[in-house]
Amino acid sequence: MSNTKQQAKWIRRLRWLHRKTAIFLFIFFLIISITGLLLGIKKQTGLLAPTQKGISIDLSTWLTVDSLQKKAIGYLHDSVSKGLSIDIDRIDIRPDKGTVKFIFKDHFNGLQLDGATGQLLLVEKRRSDFIEKLHDGSILDKIFGTGRDQIKVSYTVIMALSLLMLVLSGLWLWYGPKRLRKSRIHQTPL
Protein backbone atom coordinates (compact mmCIF):
# COMPACT_ATOMS: atom_id res chain seq x y z
CA MET A 1 0.00 0.00 0.00
CA SER A 2 1.39 3.41 -0.94
CA ASN A 3 2.25 6.00 1.68
CA THR A 4 -0.55 8.29 0.42
CA LYS A 5 -3.15 5.54 0.71
CA GLN A 6 -1.86 4.69 4.19
CA GLN A 7 -2.22 8.34 5.27
CA ALA A 8 -5.73 8.55 3.82
CA LYS A 9 -6.71 5.37 5.68
CA TRP A 10 -5.43 6.81 8.99
CA ILE A 11 -7.30 10.06 8.42
CA ARG A 12 -10.57 8.13 7.80
CA ARG A 13 -10.04 6.09 11.02
CA LEU A 14 -9.25 9.22 13.00
CA ARG A 15 -12.31 11.01 11.60
CA TRP A 16 -14.50 8.05 12.67
CA LEU A 17 -12.98 8.02 16.19
CA HIS A 18 -13.25 11.80 16.49
CA ARG A 19 -16.91 11.80 15.42
CA LYS A 20 -17.95 8.84 17.65
CA THR A 21 -16.21 10.28 20.72
CA ALA A 22 -17.77 13.72 20.17
CA ILE A 23 -21.25 12.24 19.69
CA PHE A 24 -20.96 9.95 22.72
CA LEU A 25 -19.66 12.67 25.07
CA PHE A 26 -21.60 15.63 23.63
CA ILE A 27 -23.94 16.06 26.62
CA PHE A 28 -21.04 15.92 29.09
CA PHE A 29 -19.05 18.53 27.15
CA LEU A 30 -22.15 20.70 27.00
CA ILE A 31 -22.61 20.46 30.80
CA ILE A 32 -18.92 21.17 31.45
CA SER A 33 -18.86 24.19 29.15
CA ILE A 34 -22.05 25.77 30.52
CA THR A 35 -21.14 25.16 34.17
CA GLY A 36 -17.57 26.34 33.54
CA LEU A 37 -18.91 29.57 32.07
CA LEU A 38 -21.25 30.07 35.02
CA LEU A 39 -18.45 29.42 37.53
CA GLY A 40 -16.23 31.90 35.73
CA ILE A 41 -18.80 34.67 36.17
CA LYS A 42 -20.40 33.54 39.45
CA LYS A 43 -19.73 36.80 41.32
CA GLN A 44 -21.04 38.94 38.49
CA THR A 45 -24.25 36.93 38.04
CA GLY A 46 -25.28 36.54 41.68
CA LEU A 47 -24.61 32.80 41.82
CA LEU A 48 -22.26 33.58 44.68
CA ALA A 49 -23.65 35.83 47.38
CA PRO A 50 -21.53 38.87 48.16
CA THR A 51 -19.45 38.69 51.32
CA GLN A 52 -21.04 40.83 54.03
CA LYS A 53 -19.06 43.14 56.31
CA GLY A 54 -18.66 42.64 60.01
CA ILE A 55 -18.02 45.41 62.53
CA SER A 56 -14.34 44.66 63.16
CA ILE A 57 -11.36 43.47 61.15
CA ASP A 58 -9.25 43.26 64.33
CA LEU A 59 -9.00 39.51 64.98
CA SER A 60 -8.26 40.08 68.67
CA THR A 61 -11.84 41.31 69.10
CA TRP A 62 -13.37 38.28 67.41
CA LEU A 63 -15.18 35.42 69.09
CA THR A 64 -13.50 32.02 69.03
CA VAL A 65 -14.14 29.78 66.03
CA ASP A 66 -15.78 27.26 68.38
CA SER A 67 -18.32 29.80 69.66
CA LEU A 68 -18.95 31.08 66.13
CA GLN A 69 -19.57 27.50 65.00
CA LYS A 70 -22.11 26.95 67.80
CA LYS A 71 -23.88 30.17 66.81
CA ALA A 72 -23.89 29.12 63.13
CA ILE A 73 -25.51 25.78 63.98
CA GLY A 74 -28.13 27.57 66.07
CA TYR A 75 -28.86 30.00 63.23
CA LEU A 76 -29.04 27.12 60.75
CA HIS A 77 -31.73 25.39 62.80
CA ASP A 78 -33.58 28.61 63.67
CA SER A 79 -33.38 30.45 60.34
CA VAL A 80 -33.26 27.67 57.75
CA SER A 81 -34.50 24.27 59.00
CA LYS A 82 -34.17 22.13 62.09
CA GLY A 83 -33.82 18.98 59.96
CA LEU A 84 -30.65 20.01 58.14
CA SER A 85 -27.31 18.32 58.81
CA ILE A 86 -24.87 20.37 60.87
CA ASP A 87 -21.76 18.74 59.38
CA ILE A 88 -19.52 21.59 58.27
CA ASP A 89 -17.57 21.28 55.03
CA ARG A 90 -15.46 24.38 55.54
CA ILE A 91 -15.19 27.61 57.46
CA ASP A 92 -14.13 30.56 55.35
CA ILE A 93 -12.62 33.29 57.53
CA ARG A 94 -12.45 36.73 55.90
CA PRO A 95 -10.46 38.98 58.25
CA ASP A 96 -10.49 41.88 55.78
CA LYS A 97 -14.32 41.83 55.84
CA GLY A 98 -14.80 40.93 59.51
CA THR A 99 -16.81 37.90 58.41
CA VAL A 100 -16.85 34.14 58.86
CA LYS A 101 -18.67 31.91 56.34
CA PHE A 102 -19.94 28.47 57.30
CA ILE A 103 -20.48 26.04 54.41
CA PHE A 104 -22.13 22.71 55.12
CA LYS A 105 -21.37 19.25 53.69
CA ASP A 106 -24.79 17.79 53.04
CA HIS A 107 -26.75 20.75 51.69
CA PHE A 108 -26.17 23.96 49.79
CA ASN A 109 -26.92 26.46 52.55
CA GLY A 110 -24.31 28.85 53.85
CA LEU A 111 -24.22 31.32 56.71
CA GLN A 112 -22.18 34.49 57.09
CA LEU A 113 -21.54 35.66 60.64
CA ASP A 114 -19.91 38.76 62.05
CA GLY A 115 -16.57 37.57 63.47
CA ALA A 116 -16.69 39.94 66.45
CA THR A 117 -20.33 39.65 67.54
CA GLY A 118 -21.43 36.34 66.05
CA GLN A 119 -24.48 38.09 64.60
CA LEU A 120 -26.02 36.44 61.56
CA LEU A 121 -25.29 38.63 58.52
CA LEU A 122 -26.61 36.45 55.69
CA VAL A 123 -28.29 33.12 54.99
CA GLU A 124 -27.41 32.09 51.46
CA LYS A 125 -28.18 29.32 49.01
CA ARG A 126 -24.80 28.23 47.67
CA ARG A 127 -25.82 27.88 44.01
CA SER A 128 -22.22 28.08 42.87
CA ASP A 129 -21.34 25.06 45.03
CA PHE A 130 -24.08 23.05 43.30
CA ILE A 131 -22.84 24.17 39.88
CA GLU A 132 -19.25 23.29 40.86
CA LYS A 133 -20.34 19.78 41.90
CA LEU A 134 -22.19 19.41 38.61
CA HIS A 135 -19.15 20.69 36.71
CA ASP A 136 -16.64 18.29 38.25
CA GLY A 137 -18.97 15.27 38.57
CA SER A 138 -18.82 15.16 42.37
CA ILE A 139 -22.62 15.54 42.46
CA LEU A 140 -22.73 11.84 41.48
CA ASP A 141 -20.53 10.92 44.45
CA LYS A 142 -23.00 12.81 46.63
CA ILE A 143 -26.04 11.12 45.05
CA PHE A 144 -24.58 7.61 45.23
CA GLY A 145 -22.88 8.12 48.60
CA THR A 146 -19.37 7.14 47.53
CA GLY A 147 -16.85 8.11 50.13
CA ARG A 148 -13.68 9.13 48.36
CA ASP A 149 -14.64 10.95 45.16
CA GLN A 150 -14.29 7.83 43.01
CA ILE A 151 -16.84 9.04 40.44
CA LYS A 152 -15.44 12.58 40.39
CA VAL A 153 -11.90 11.36 39.74
CA SER A 154 -13.00 8.87 37.05
CA TYR A 155 -15.21 11.48 35.38
CA THR A 156 -12.42 14.06 35.43
CA VAL A 157 -9.84 11.69 33.95
CA ILE A 158 -12.21 10.40 31.24
CA MET A 159 -13.37 13.87 30.22
CA ALA A 160 -9.86 15.37 30.26
CA LEU A 161 -8.38 12.55 28.16
CA SER A 162 -11.36 12.66 25.78
CA LEU A 163 -11.01 16.41 25.32
CA LEU A 164 -7.27 16.03 24.74
CA MET A 165 -7.94 13.28 22.17
CA LEU A 166 -10.54 15.47 20.41
CA VAL A 167 -8.18 18.45 20.28
CA LEU A 168 -5.27 16.39 18.92
CA SER A 169 -7.39 14.44 16.45
CA GLY A 170 -9.13 17.65 15.35
CA LEU A 171 -5.75 19.25 14.74
CA TRP A 172 -4.66 16.26 12.69
CA LEU A 173 -7.97 16.19 10.78
CA TRP A 174 -7.31 19.79 9.81
CA TYR A 175 -3.60 19.34 9.03
CA GLY A 176 -3.57 15.77 7.65
CA PRO A 177 -5.55 16.45 4.45
CA LYS A 178 -3.35 19.50 3.73
CA ARG A 179 -0.27 17.34 4.10
CA LEU A 180 -1.85 14.60 1.99
CA ARG A 181 -2.68 17.06 -0.83
CA LYS A 182 0.83 18.45 -0.71
CA SER A 183 2.37 14.97 -0.97
CA ARG A 184 0.06 14.12 -3.92
CA ILE A 185 1.20 17.26 -5.75
CA HIS A 186 4.84 16.30 -5.27
CA GLN A 187 4.17 12.74 -6.49
CA THR A 188 2.39 13.76 -9.71
CA PRO A 189 4.65 13.11 -12.71
CA LEU A 190 5.25 15.99 -15.12
Residue-wise pLDDT for 98-111, tens only, equals 999 999 998 999 99
The last residue of a domain, from among 125, 143, 178: 125
What would the mean pLDDT of 21-28 be, rounded to a whole number?
94
18 and 81 both lie in a single domain: no
Number of domains in the chain: 2
- Summarised one tens digit per residue, pLDDT across range 62-111 is 999 999 999 999 999 999 999 999 999 999 999 999 999 999 998 999 99
Note the pTM of the prediction, 2 decimals.
Answer: 0.79
32 and 75 both lie in a single domain: no
- CA geometry: angle at 37 spanning 29 and 80, to 5°? 105
Find the domain containing 72 and state its range.
Answer: 49-125
18 and 85 both lie in a single domain: no
- Summarised one tens digit per residue, pLDDT across range 34-64 is 999 999 999 999 899 999 999 999 999 999 9
Q: Residue 58, exposed/middle/buried by CB under 10 A (0-12, 13-18, 19+)?
A: exposed
The last residue of a domain, from among 125, 146, 178: 125
